[in-house]
């Protein structure tokens, strides 16, 4: 199996991102050939972590998605990585952080040249189809450190073969432009974007991201339904998100605010 990632090159590209940015970020970087789930690996280590840690796998055999779903991938075709980040904040304040992750990835990809939009609460869409998914998990830090460790898992489709799309069971997006990029450079830029956003989020809160998120909202002004498993919770016109990350729905003239949890948004076709 071809190796796409090199730890030394990743460190080099991340340092270049630091040089180009307004603030320097210190992140441990680890590369493994194969694992079950980078998120599960980092979640099992949060009590012993001493600083933010990036873990990237050439291949994940048991990738995790939201609501207990599996994230399917193929070596070289899907970029799968996780970033552990420590927050000195409450769990309630962290509830909007997945939206920050999605926004930071979307803005980074658009800067690279891939036109993506954000789907509430934490998917990225390209041409109306899913290009990337995000899973954010949290666990209490040690008593000495306080706060919470958050593990941000990201799966980004680069070049999805037909067999994998059939396994997924629905049409997904990929990007030939991203697939031809140096994977170490791409991963470093995405990680730096998420880490920078995490730093700003802890310092200023979620409110500073709301307007930017709504600008890239894929379903703004469109009719949608909010699903909990197979049950419709509400349907109406998507308006945007509020200062706490809730999705606002116009339900026949009544504004409803929806918390993310394990619910999903689907367009009304």
> pTM for the whole thing?
0.91
Mean pLDDT, the chain, whole residue set: 89
Report the half-sphere exposure of 62 (CA within 13 A, side-chain side).
Answer: 7
pLDDT the model gives residue 67: 47
Q: Terminus-to-terminus CA distance in the chain, angstroms? A: 41
What secondary structure does DSSP assign to 61-78, as a single string? SSEE-GGG-EE---TTTE
Q: Which of 163, 165, 154 is nearest to 65 (CA)?
A: 154
Cβ within 8 Å of residue 148, ≥6 positions away: 86, 87, 89, 91, 94, 138, 139, 140, 141
The span from the CA of 85 to the CA of 152, in Å, is 8
Task: Say if residues 106 and 116 touch (Cβ distance below 8 Å).
Answer: yes
Domains of the chain, CATH where assigned: 7-214 (3.30.930.10), 219-267 (2.30.30.100)
Asked whether 81 and 57 are in contact (CB, 8 A), the reply is yes
Q: What residue ranges of the chain have pLDDT lower than 70?
A: 1, 62-76, 161-171, 261
Rounded distance between C-alpha atoms, residue 109 and residue 103, angstroms: 10
- Cα separation, 253 vs 239, whole angstroms: 12
DSSP codes joined into one string, 220-240: TTSEEEEEETTEEEEEEEEEE
> How confident is the model at residue 97, as a pLDDT?
96
- For 133-190, the pLDDT digits (tens) are 999 999 999 888 889 999 999 999 998 755 655 555 566 888 888 989 999 999 999 9
């Amino acid at each position: 199996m071809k190796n796409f990632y090199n730890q030394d090159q990743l460190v080099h590209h991340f340092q270049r991102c630091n040089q180009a940015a307004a603030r320097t970020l210190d992140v441990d970087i680890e590369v493994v050939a194969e694992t079950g789930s980078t998120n599960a690996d980092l979640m099992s280590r949060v009590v012993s972590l001493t600083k933010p840690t990036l873990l990237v796998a050439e291949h994940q055999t048991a990738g995790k998605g939201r609501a207990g779903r599996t994230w399917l991938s193929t070596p070289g075709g899907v970029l799968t990585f996780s970033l552990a980040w420590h927050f000195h904040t409450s769990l309630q304040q962290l509830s909007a952080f997945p939206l920050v992750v999605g926004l930071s990835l979307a803005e980074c990809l658009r800067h690279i040249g891939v036109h993506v939009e954000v789907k509430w609460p934490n998917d990225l869409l390209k041409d109306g189809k899913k290009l990337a998914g995000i899973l954010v998990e949290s666990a209490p830090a040690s008593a000495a450190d306080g706060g919470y460790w958050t593990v941000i898992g990201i799966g980004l489709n680069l070049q999805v073969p037909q067999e994998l799309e059939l396994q997924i069971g629905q049409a997904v997006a990929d990007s030939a432009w991203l697939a031809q990029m140096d994977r170490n450079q791409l991963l470093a830029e995405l990680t730096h974007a998420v880490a920078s956003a995490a730093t700003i989020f802890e310092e200023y809160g979620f409110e500073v991201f709301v307007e930017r998120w709504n600008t890239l909202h894929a379903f703004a002004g469109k009719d949608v339904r909010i699903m909990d498993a197979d049950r419709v919770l509400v349907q109406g016109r998507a308006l945007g998100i509020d200062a706490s990350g809730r999705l606002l729905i116009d339900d026949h003239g009544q504004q409803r605010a929806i918390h993310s949890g394990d619910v999903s948004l689907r367009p009304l076709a």
